[in-house]
Chains A and B, each alone.
Chain A
Amino acid sequence: MGRRTPLFELHQQLGARIVDFGGWDMPVQYASQIGEHHAVRRVAGIFDVSHMCAVDLKGPRVRQFLQHLLANDVAKLKVPGKALYSCMLNEAGGVLDDLIVYFLNESAFRLVVNAGTRDKDLAWIRSIGQQFDVQATERTDLAILAIQGPEARAKTAALLSASGANAAMALGPFFGRDIDGWFVARTGYTGEDGFEVMLPASDAVRVWRELNAAGVVSCGLGARDTLRLEAGMNLYGNDMDETTHPFESGLAWTVAMQPGERRFIGREALEKVLANTAAPPRQLVGLVLEDRGVLRSHQKVVPTGEITSGTFSPTLERSIALARVPAGAVQQVQVDIRGKLLNARVVKPPFVRFGKAMI
């Protein structure tokens, strides 16, 4: 038996198929994975992401700590509530995890880290945090719900007080704040608008049922994966890990090399990568399969490369993937699927955004 979220029994009652995900017993689908996917693109869906971990960081030097810990620069966070996506690197420039950091106030920030890495992350954060007198608290008292889709915000706001609903609807993209005892953030992992809500675990079942009653469809991790891949978003452990650095993972945009005096962990290794112009980093590209079949992680790309994430895209009704290939312009490749070479076109993700095909 794996770890369970406060919603585990509800998932069983709703008929979910439960699978192991990074040591957690999680719902992979309820009725139809494709149906759940379309619900998010067209109306709204709700995901239990309580296996992810909210970590509250407190201390007078917490901003300075995060400028050392993270490859992106929390100096960009000037307004309370603003969020930033970042990688956390090791000294070799490898990705320990990707996370979202929220600026709450000058002595309090919140991180949300991945389920499969949470224990490793906490140990790392605490060991570095000691040097900055930063206290890290794992918020196991919170459940995390992602409500995503074109109608997700309105349907979620309807559960709040009148003033709370106004505050929630006024949140800009990548902002979060405390509303009616919940932390409501306009973030997500689907390529749609929506909220991620951190709320007391004791509220989670009631809120899930109320959203179901309002037409928000229960969605499992299966749909979450097809949605994020259509949105061109990386999955930690598939598309990057400790053996790959951000520049070869489509994440250069998340690394703040300026200002040059900010000595974040992994910076020296990344500087060496940039200085070595004789060996430019590999690149993570999007692939659209032109022949029939389904791209999957670890399939070989011909002439050179490997698929890191692949699936069937319910929106495009064809197979799509992220693949790591050598540097340089390339428009067409082949993929070895069970010994057959199938044609794939190289594209720039995202594949789908706000319900619309982008490729």
Chain B
Amino acid sequence: MTHMLEVDNITTRYGAITALHDASLEVHAGELVALVGPNGAGKTTLLNTVAGLLRPATGSVRFDGNDITGTEPARLVRAGLALVPEHRRIFKDLTVEENLRLGGSTASVADRRERLDEAAELFPVLRAKWTTSAGFLSGGEAQQLAVARALMSNPRLLLLDEPTLGLAPTMVDVVFDLLLRLRAQGRTLLVVEQNATRALGIADRGYLLRTGRVIATGTGPELAADASLFDSFIGGEA
């Protein structure tokens, strides 16, 4: 298996606060990898560091074997790496279509048009609200838009930060189905999830983060079954 993403001993700080200590992980092509852990464990920091929003103090990030540590997000999108950020951060003042067009800003005009059609097909909910301001979408619709928007750049590696946060149970099902469909399409996924049991249940592999450190790794089911580890963060403080 090829390493698509290699995160090697990164430490990321916000001023004096160290959010991530020497964290390492790897994602192979075609895998769905889950990143779980309590609030404040550094999961979002890790994804934001990989996506180029944050620069690590030490350590390196490699994508397809190339060093991308601290590379501007705009370049990473062009290289095939996209992030669905925490809280979705869809553009509420833009329409659904405009959100998607912006998501495909790196594609050629023809590709963008083709992917808009694909998005409309893949997300019927969005097609129904095509010219509506995204600020009027429900939580589930907004989450689908956030994923659809990231897919517009046709990423090979998609990072998702808490894609089910704040969603109704039926919408959580929709999002998990979507993750499986994306993997079936051959996309590589690295997912941060609060719904740890369920995420590990469908993941090929998982990483458990706690207070900025990777404290366990294994296949999804292994990690999910490890009750002792599990208690350490279900009942654990941040």
Do A and B pair up? The answer is no
Binding site for A on B (CB under 8 A): none
Binding site for B on A (CB under 8 A): none
